[in-house]
Amino acid sequence: MKISKLKLKHQIFLIVLFTVILFTFMEAYFYFSFYNLTQTRAANYGNKIIEQTRQKIDSVFNDIKISTNIAVDNRKIQEFTTADNDYARDIDIGNYVIDLMEYMRAFNSYVSGIVINDNEGRKVYSVDSITGDIFFMNQYNAFINKYKNDSTALDKGSFTDLFKDGKSGNEYFFYVAPIIESIGGVHFSQRTGYCSVMVNIEKLQELIENTELTPHSALYILNSSNEVIASNQASFRGVLFEDILSADRDNLTSGMKTKINGEKVIVQEKGLEQADGWSIVSIIPVHELTADMNPIKHFSFIRPARLGPRIIRWGC
């Protein structure tokens, strides 16, 4: 059957129908191209957020490590850990050490408390009135022993796992660094004590909560044991991310699309440079990153699809 023998109405119908089909295929192609572009943008957005947060956390941890290293290398602090004369140690040296620790705590709001211990168990400290009692608990002493007696962990300092107060249920973590005598005494190059710094978790929590995210995105700081140190999702704090982190960690670094509670999300993880084994994880709902393409989808794809049946009815 030749087109020229068809009624004019049918000729117009075929031309319009062919045009609509061609237009629909073109729109579908551009739609899916734009969809893939949006997915890439979503991953880039997540990477940007997580990298900015990593830099902030690393900066905080680096400042804590620098301050602690200055303290453990300080001559008076080293003399405090080796002095035999209790009077000189408590009055002459002790007051200076306390002033130095008070200054460290006042200078850095991410430090809640500092304790210097020598090998004999003697200590000097600067703590706040709210969390200061933690350093004198038997539970804390048992917790910190595994770090102060671990030569590998104390070789260059270490951030601890979460310590949970059995009474209050509050959680804390610390930066622990060795005091190595370097002033030329009889204990030269030996470890004469250690410094334990309590990190202010509430300040880290504020930092995470103030990060600009999409409405239902989640951001987590995980320690080397995959415990949640801080998060904008408070109900998940302290929970292990076994399901999410059981995936290939290389895929998480570049961004992995998965489902959580039936919702499509992009999960990304980035390791911290200042804390071995620590990382930041972001979970961003895909629909919140692709919402701006819905109008395009509606007008570019659905409208032509609806137009097709109308043309067929008209042609018949």
84-142 pLDDT, tens digit per residue, is 777 667 777 888 888 888 988 888 999 999 999 888 888 888 888 777 688 888 898 88
**Residue 310 φ then ψ, to 5°:** -65, -40
**Token pair recorded at residue 219:** 């951001």
19 pLDDT more than 60: yes
Q: Which domains does the chain have, with CATH numbers?
A: 59-203 (3.30.450.20)
Where does residue 116 rank: exposed (0-12), middle (13-18), buried (19+ CB within 10 A)?
buried
What span, in angstroms and rounded, lies between the C-alpha atoms of 5 and 7?
Answer: 7
CB atoms within 10 A of CB 147: 21
CA-to-CA dists, residue 272 to 250, 254, 280, angstroms:
15, 15, 7
> Contacts for 309-315 with beta carbons within 8 Å, 24 or more apart?
311/13, 311/16, 311/17, 311/20, 312/17, 314/13, 315/9, 315/10, 315/13, 315/14, 315/17
- What's residue 226's pLDDT? 87
The overall longest dimension of the chain from CA atoms, in Å, is: 117
12 pLDDT more than 70: no
170-211 pLDDT, tens digit per residue, is 899 999 999 998 888 787 888 889 999 999 999 999 999 888
At 314, the amino acid letter reads W
